[in-house]
């Protein structure tokens, strides 16, 4: 028998690479926790001249993909969920200011009418884009407006503390500086009353229909929470007043 058969194999060239002191062990890692669904934040909601923010938040649901929260509204039956009726025999508008987790600087404003031509109105992360797609998009009104940074009115440059985020009257969004400035003066206590008439808002946005109005605003230099006041046309904002 050859002598080499009784000798141990030379392992000098066949070391386990994990025994090399110059190699660092792989870093410890855990599998990443999957992100939760993108949350829908309703900053304020009004219906026929009253605030319905808690009621609208209560009907938010999780999309079937579980990737985001959504709001699906049947505009022909919504009145059965928002009882009692704040304005009987009046066609009402639903106004919602919202944003999603991934973008809290860009707000979206929904203003939809009761008994709208399209029965179902949805709020999703892409609803503001989806409303412009499809064959019927040209025939249906666009209910959602995007409010980017700088939209609205504020008096920060002059040392004020008020921001008017959005103003809605009937089916229209009011962007006139004079209107927003008057409302800003009111919230700062510099004006005792604002008459909420068609003349004040600068025109009739929905002729022949009794309209509601909504104002979304912030106090405290724009760092405060978005709040809203609402009512019906030919009424007034008066001091003293209360948050709705």
pLDDT in tens, 149-165: 778 898 888 888 899 99
Asked if residue 29 is part of any domain, the answer here is no
Asked if residue 243 is part of any domain, the answer here is no
pLDDT for res 157:
84
Asked if residue 47 is part of any domain, the answer here is yes
Asked if residue 21 is part of any domain, the answer here is no
Q: What is the dihedral of CA 93, 97, 101, 106, to 10 degrees?
A: 120
Alpha carbon distance 93, 104 (integer Å): 25
For the chain, list residues with pLDDT below 70. Answer: 1-35, 102-104, 134-141, 239-244
- CB proximity list for 102: less than 8 A, separation 6 or greater: 38, 125
Task: Give me the number of domains the chain comprises.
Answer: 1
Closest CA to 228 of 176, 171, 187: 187
Three-state SS at 195? strand
Asked if residue 18 is part of any domain, the answer here is no
Asked if residue 109 is part of any domain, the answer here is yes
Domain that residue 196 falls in = 40-238
CA distances from 144 to 129, 172, 225, 234, 244 (A): 9, 11, 22, 26, 24
């Amino acid at each position: 028998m050859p002598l080499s058969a009784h000798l141990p194999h030379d392992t000098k060239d066949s070391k386990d690479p994990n025994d090399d002191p110059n190699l660092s062990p792989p870093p410890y890692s855990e599998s990443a926790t999957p992100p939760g669904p993108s949350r829908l934040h309703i900053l304020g909601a009004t219906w026929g001249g009253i605030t319905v923010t808690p009621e609208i938040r209560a009907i938010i649901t999780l999309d079937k993909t579980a990737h985001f929260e959504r709001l699906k509204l049947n505009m022909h039956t919504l009145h059965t969920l928002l009882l009692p009726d704040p304005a009987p025999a009046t066609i009402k508008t639903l106004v919602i200011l919202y944003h999603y987790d991934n973008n809290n600087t860009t707000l979206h404003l929904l203003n939809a009418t009761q008994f709208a031509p399209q029965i179902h109105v949805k709020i999703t992360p892409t609803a503001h884009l989806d409303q412009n797609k499809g064959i019927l998009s040209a025939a249906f009104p666009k209910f959602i407006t995007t409010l980017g940074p700088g939209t609205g009115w504020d008096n920060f440059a002059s040392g004020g503390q008020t921001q008017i985020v959005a103003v809605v009257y009937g089916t229209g969004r009011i962007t006139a500086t004079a209107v927003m400035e008057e409302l800003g003066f009111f919230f700062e206590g510099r004006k005792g009353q604002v008459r909420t008439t068609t003349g004040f808002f600068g025109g009739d946005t929905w002729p022949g229909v009794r309209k509601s109005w909504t104002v979304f605003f912030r106090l405290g230099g724009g760092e405060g929470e978005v709040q809203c006041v609402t009512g019906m046309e030919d009424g007034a904002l008066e001091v003293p007043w209360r948050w709705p």
